Amino acid sequence: MSEFDYSAPAELFAVHGRSGLRYRRFSKSAEAIRYAVEKLPAAALAAAAIEVDEHRYRGTEIRALYDGDRYPLPRR
């Protein structure tokens, strides 16, 4: 994941309780990652996926991108 582009657009797909599938678009993947890690409940993050440049990243990968040294946004 060292080649990951945090400035690329991203789509977030997450299951959220009884309301079903939640879908959001972000202009930067760093924002999608922050939303997934900081706003979604832990169970929803585990089932979430972010799509960037036709590649899907699942819950543990999303968390690794957030925790990585290259993550460009302030963390909570």
| pLDDT tens, position by position, 1-56 | 568 999 999 999 987 666 667 899 999 999 999 999 999 988 889 999 999 999 99
Q: pLDDT value at position 22?
A: 83
Number of structural domains found in the chain: 1
Whole-model pTM: value is 0.90
Asked if the structure places residue 43 within a domain, the reply is yes
Asked if the structure places residue 32 within a domain, the reply is yes
Amino acid (1-letter code) at residue 9:
P
Please give the Cα distance from 41 to 49 (Å, whole number): 14
Asked if the structure places residue 73 within a domain, the reply is no
- Among candidate residues 76, 66, 61, the one with its CA nearest the CA of residue 30: 66
List the domain range (segments joined by +) for residue 51. Answer: 10-67
Q: Would you state the structure tokens that stand for residue 76, as one six-digit string?
A: 């909570």
